Amino acid sequence: MTLAELLVRLGGFGLDLTRRVEFDEIVDPRCVEMERRSADAGMDTLTLLSLTTPFLQLIDVEARGFAEDKPVLVLTEFDSSLWDVRAVDERVLSELRHHYPGAKDL
């Protein structure tokens, strides 16, 4: 699953968040642009979504979502194949569990 797919699956919950993205490994020029836009105030979700595209595979990335400067959603991808999702709203996790029955609580 790509970051784009996960953002789309989150739907309305993450739409109004401010996003900041950090990479351990730059695998595409769009990663540089995402980091640039993440600096300072961050970017909106639609901007992040436009930069990720469905086919962009990322390696070791953390995408944080902020509401009023408080982190409310953290998406961490490891090795381009495993996601760790942390959210302050349990409904987000429930929605993901519903759509991805193989998801595990850690």
Contacts (Cβ under 8 Å, ≥6 apart) of 12: none
Tens-place pLDDT, residues 18-49: 999 999 888 888 899 999 999 888 999 999 99
Give dist(CA 106, CA 15) in Å, integer. Answer: 26
Give dist(CA 81, CA 65) in Å, integer. Answer: 21
Tens-place pLDDT, residues 80-104: 678 899 999 998 888 888 888 888 7
pLDDT for position 14: 83
Question: pTM higher than 0.85 for the full model?
Answer: yes
Range 64-87 burial, b when 16+ CB lie within 10 A, else e: bbbeeeeebbebebeeeeebebeb
User: Residue 4 carries which DSSP code?
Assistant: H
Give dist(CA 67, CA 60) in Å, integer. Answer: 23
* Residue 79 pLDDT class (50, 70, 90 cuts): confident
